[in-house]
Amino acid sequence: MAHDALSSHSSADPFTPPADSTLWRENFLLGAATASYQIEGAVNEDGRLPSIWDTFCATPGKVLAGDSGEVACDHYHRWEADVDMLAGLGLEGYRLSIAWPRVMHLDGTPNRKGLDFYKRLLTRLKEKGITTFVTLYHWDLPQHLEDRGGWLNRETAYRFADYADLMSRELAGNVDAWATLNEPWCSAYLGYGNGHHAPGLVNARFATQAMHHLLLAHGLAVPVLSANDPASQKGIVANIGRGTPNSDSADDRRAAHLFEVQHNAWILDPLLKGTYPQALFELWPGTEPLILDGDMQTISAPLDFLGINYYFRTNVASDGAHGFKDVPLQGVERTQMGWEVYPDGLCDLLISFRREYANLPPVYITENGMASDDKVIDGRVDDTQRISFLKRHLAAVDEAIKAGVDIRGYFLWSLMDNFEWAFGYERRFGIVHVDYATQKRTIKRSAELVSRFLKERKERNLRI
């Protein structure tokens, strides 16, 4: 089923799902997400150590306009007002990440000032009745660990387990769900494979070894989190990509398959099957990582949930060798990032994962959203394309649920405009506009409509 048109609600309310949507159910969590380096700022305060993104941003030519997360949304100082804003919108869940460089000193001992920030933040969220999803690693590796090899060094996985131990002991009771890693594909491939993200290395062999150590870190952390905070859920967040063939030729179909192996199976197979997909090493011959006895059993520890981040699809053709190449389609809707709007890809992938993985855990859509060039006009931001985008992707989620996929919730990316990594501050993903010069927050029309739906759903479920 295509999701290219808005459903039959009036133009005054172009967001509310149809009456038969599963999204009306009371136990479907609807929230918003952020990440520490993208919003906090205060990179030199209260003992925070440098991260690989501080270093990357300081390297000329790496980030658009020379931007950095030095100030970002100044959330470190404005967190109370931001939590009030989140609660005021009626959002039921908040997915945030902890800055590893903020909570541990060089010698691995706790940084109490950094820990206290997250304790205050999480305590306030719980007081507001907001479900908390906490990601331990959203890409801001302490620079001193990168100096010793970063994710190419197996030792980093053990330091991550120490970090997970500290955080789960300190924050137990205030976290509903722990995610070990956010998008290890980006950390491994963009960070070590093609150099587009920190630390900026370019080597396919580095990418596969970094991925192995990232997943090992996840596997080592899961039992630690379970021991220290048994009431919480434990999971991981993977970004997924839909690849479609440019033609019906066998070569192009193979190219689309390899695209999805590289984007999806590279992460999901070790987690859910305990093996790496062999097709990955057909795509990148000679890049098999060093795997020690017991590693795959550690990596494939059972998960309470799987977080899924989805944004777009990629149309691909055979590159005439062992791989694929992008073939951008013409005349399709795209976002400010240049990404194609393709809600069916989310539904297709979710249903395919249910078929492929017999042990697929409950799923949360932990990121979904789009960038647009939003401007405040007469005190308002009318982000029409985002409203349409969210409605269609929520319809895709509803369709996947009706097809039997156990999806428990959906987090909008993002709560507010923020530092968009290598794209700096030009691309705006938020449902709340941020004026970076004044730090003024302006609720966008998309946020108003999401808020209205949540209020209507609450009232409807109270009547039942």
Residue ranges for the known binding site are 38, 138, 182, 311, 413, 420-421
Which of 40, 340, 367, 399 is an active site residue? Answer: 367
What residues are paired with 407 via a beta bridge? 363
> 340 an active-site residue?
no
Extract the annotated binding site for substrate: 38, 138, 182, 311, 413, 420-421
Exposure on the CB side of residue 166, measured as CA atoms within 13 A: 23
Say if residues 299 and 270 touch (Cβ distance below 8 Å).
Answer: yes
- Other CB atoms within 10 A of residue 153 CB: 17
> 183 an active-site residue?
yes
User: Phi/psi of residue 324, each to 5°?
Assistant: -140, 165
Say if residues 419 and 425 touch (Cβ distance below 8 Å).
Answer: yes
Which of 183, 260, 340, 399 is an active site residue? Answer: 183
d(CA 187, CA 44) in angstroms, rounded, equals 23
CB burial string 257-266: b at 16+ within 10 A, e below: bbbbbbbbbb
Say if residues 157 and 289 touch (Cβ distance below 8 Å).
Answer: no
DSSP states of 121-135 as a string?
A: HHHHHHHTT-EEEEE
d(CA 242, CA 396) in angstroms, rounded, equals 14
3 state SS of 322: coil
List the catalytic residues.
183, 367
